[in-house]
Amino acid sequence: MQAVIKLLLSMGLLFSHEAAMADIIVSGSAVSLSSSPSGTSSEASFTGNDGRHNVNGDIVEVRHGRLTVNGEPYGTVGPESFIRYRIQGDKKTLIVDGKVRPLRK
């Protein structure tokens, strides 16, 4: 578990204050993080061609390399792609391999 945290920290995909607050669940190639006891901030980070994550009611899914958020398509991802979806208050951010993919409203 500590190796996963160190890797995410070294990649700049997790920050020390988040690591301290994170509830980390490792399942296959997926890593899911969630923080903020108040529920105003939630996040899922994972890798792989297939997976489905519920982040405060938003569904982030990869099926056969195709990424969707709440059923809306957001392009393709590779098996090694790192996907991060964050909700902070009213702001939602989708990042794939370190690059923001703008969300439709």
68: in domain = yes
67: in domain = yes
For the chain, the distance separating the N- and C-terminal CA atoms, rounded to the nearest angstrom, is: 36
Name every residue whose Cβ is closer than 8 Å to that of residue 28 and which is 6 or more positions away in sequence: 48
Domain that includes residue 73, residue range: 2-100
Overall domain count for the chain:
1
Instruction: For residues 87 and 77, give the distance between their C-alpha atoms in angstroms, rounded to a whole number.
Output: 21
61: in domain = yes
Q: pLDDT tens track of the chain, all 105 residues?
A: 456 656 665 666 554 444 444 444 333 355 665 656 666 788 888 887 788 888 888 999 999 999 999 999 999 999 889 999 999 989 999 999 999 999 997
Q: Which amino acid is at 33?
A: L
70: left (phi over 0), alpha (psi -120 to 50) or beta: left
105: in domain = no
19: in domain = yes
